[in-house]
Chain A
Amino acid sequence: MNLAEKILAAHAGKNEVVPGEFISASVDMVLSNDITAPIAIKEFYRLGVSRVFDPSKIVMVADHFVPNKDILSAEQAKQMREFCHEQGIKFYDVGEMGIEHVLLPEQGLVLPGDVVIGADSHTCTYGAIGAFATGMGSTDIAVAMATGDIWMKVPPTIKFIYNGDLGKWVGGKDLILYTIGDIGVDGALYAAMEFTGDAIEALSMDGRFTMANMAIEAGGKAGLFHVDNKTQLYIKSRAKRSYLVYEPDVDAAYDRVIEYDVTSIEPQVSLPHSPANAKSVSEVGDVKIDQAVIGSCTNGRVEDLRLAAQVLKKHRVHSGVRCIIIPGSQQVYLEALAEGLIEIFIKAGAAFSTPTCGPCLGGHMGVLAEGERCISTTNRNFVGRMGSTKSEVYLANPAVAAASAVAGRIIDPEEVMH
């Protein structure tokens, strides 16, 4: 069995599972947020139950519209707060919250070998630490909160092998944009993606989170990495419960195997309005920008902020550009503070905020007007994603976004640094 099958078999109480098989899997963590929890809570009560199956295996995070942007979103956060209080569920509120997919691994709430479901499509992020994690809707989450298990169809797995050395300014974001550019937004529809190869072994944990995060952008159900020394080191100080590490069998079957040599991959930029419109930064041409956003569950970790700071240290944000930098969690905020990154950002003329999803989904903190263009380290550049349906979003890594903020147009960081 491959990695996804091993984890799912163990959670279905079976010796073996095969792709296409319907199973009922026990869940180790059930997540929802300020957009999806209100419906989940309503459906939970419709089930006729009064208590959740296990409050320690449920978490709710207010991250999309907080600190609340308007009265209606304040009402939604209030519903979650009250439900969590009543049920004894941990609620991450303003002052403690982070963007859910940065927060959960960081706090040790999700661990290798777990099955995690979340009412948010980017729940697949936790594949970076070797968990089978997948996004679902609110009703699924309601049922899992009541019963502790969930129906699933065992997905076929596509194995991706990345060989070679990563170039300068090239990281997890570039590998995943390149991959989606290659296979398309439905290239892994319904499938699990297993990311392997020496370039992956060389990749940092933060880079792996970025890649797993965007598995959904290829239609994937999960994006999994093997647990290695880096993972163990990351987990060791965070885990507060035991966990099991699963490894794929050497003769595991895969639906497909796709191999890339990463040596010649340049920093990637995905043009509007699809993550699959990926191009090398040198091929983008002259694209002026009005805004740069650095943050989100894709690239809001400390390594991302370090990259942005490296570029912004000796430069100023272009006078025609709003550069908005948002840490993914309070922990990331503190690390950025301790390392002096925030001072670099502010002196460079960027805005720095408390953690929030904010502009990533066109919520608040940087919504775009008609005709405006934004380079963003987020994961989606759909029509209207960050504001007006006549605005444009270009996806890139934090170094490219920071360099573009300096130049006022999309540019290779190497050009700005020299």
Chain B
Amino acid sequence: MKLKGKVFKYGTDVNTDVIIPARYLNVSDPAELAKYCMEDIDADFVKKVKPGDIIMAATNFGCGSSREHAPLAIKASGISCVIAHSFARIFFRNAINIGLPLLECAGAVDNTDAGDTLEVDLAEGKIKNLTSGRTFTASPYPDFMSEVIAAGGLVEYTKKRLAHT
């Protein structure tokens, strides 16, 4: 699957409180959460984001609380994948579990500017910056995670597992 979109770029340690502030956690509907996505770090994000767009960030993206609302809000906002130097552990699990693609690729992040257009081939881990023409390759997923992703998330993966036992 190829993804294509414009880049929103952030720094290190982007935490789940700024991705979706706790004042909106009295609901869990992704479309509702998406209305406030990134509000405390980038008030214009929701106005500007278009389906397919991509978030890029430095290290430890998604640190802080375990709220699955964070990847849900990002996914429902239209973002097609997040590329970072590294991700916080719980956010990484949550994103894979709900089917928000993540890629770890410091080179791509460091050589891309906000507003650039990227084309991403998830299966190959290939990231092409259409604005600059440069290409990058992300670290591959471990086998186990590829299986979860291929199944379409943890619920689908577990359903299959349950059907076999």
Q: Which residues of A contact B (CB under 8 A)?
A: 22, 35-36, 38-39, 42-43, 46-49, 64-65, 69-70, 72-73, 76, 118-121, 123, 135-140, 142-143, 146-147, 151, 153, 185-186, 189-190, 219, 221, 274, 361-363, 380, 382-385, 389
Contacts and interface: CB of A to CB of B under 8 A. Distances in A.
B62 to A, nearest CB: 11
B154 to A, nearest CB: 5
Contacts of B27: 72
Interface string B143-165: 01000000001110011011000
Contacts of A22: 142, 144
26 contacts: A22-B142, A35-B25, A39-B68, A47-B159, A65-B26, A69-B26, A76-B26, A120-B65, A121-B90, A123-B66, A136-B66, A136-B90, A136-B93, A137-B68, A137-B93, A137-B94, A137-B97, A139-B153, A140-B154, A143-B154, A185-B60, A219-B63, A362-B22, A383-B40, A384-B21, A385-B17
Given A39-B68, A76-B26, A219-B60, A140 B17 contact: no
A75 to B, nearest CB: 8
Given A35-B67, A140-B97, A49 B25 contact: no
Given A186-B60, A186-B86, A189-B60, A47 B67 contact: no
A147 B41 contact: no
A64 B76 CA distance: 24
B63 A186 contact: yes
A301 B68 CA distance: 28
B154 A383 contact: no
B59 interface: yes
Nearest to A40: B68
Given A121-B64, A380-B17, A139 B162 contact: no
B87 to A, nearest CB: 9
Contacts of B97: 137, 139-140
Contacts of B122: none
B28 interface: yes
A219 B68 contact: no
Nearest to A121: B66
Contacts of B144: 22, 151
A389 B89 contact: no
A180 B67 CA distance: 22
A139 B155 contact: yes
A324 B69 CA distance: 28
Contacts of B47: none
Nearest to B32: A72
B23 interface: yes
Interface of B: 13, 15, 17-18, 21-23, 25-28, 40-41, 59-60, 63-69, 71-72, 86, 88-90, 93-94, 97-98, 142, 144, 153-155, 158-159, 161-162
A135 B90 contact: yes
Nearest to A65: B26
A146 B154 contact: no
A384 B18 contact: yes
A383 B18 CA distance: 7
A185 B63 contact: yes
Nearest to B13: A185
Contacts of A190: 89
A139 B17 contact: no
B155 A382 contact: no
Contacts of A135: 66, 90
A73 B28 CA distance: 10
A39 B71 CA distance: 13
A384 B90 contact: no
Given A35-B67, A47-B158, A49-B162, A139 B94 contact: yes
Nearest to A72: B26
Given A47-B159, A138-B68, A219-B63, 19 more contacts: A42-B28, A43-B155, A47-B158, A49-B162, A64-B25, A135-B66, A137-B66, A137-B71, A137-B93, A139-B97, A140-B94, A142-B155, A147-B158, A147-B162, A151-B144, A221-B89, A361-B17, A361-B65, A383-B18
Contacts of A120: 65-66
Contacts of A362: 21-23
B21 A189 contact: no
B18 to A, nearest CB: 6
A70 B67 CA distance: 20
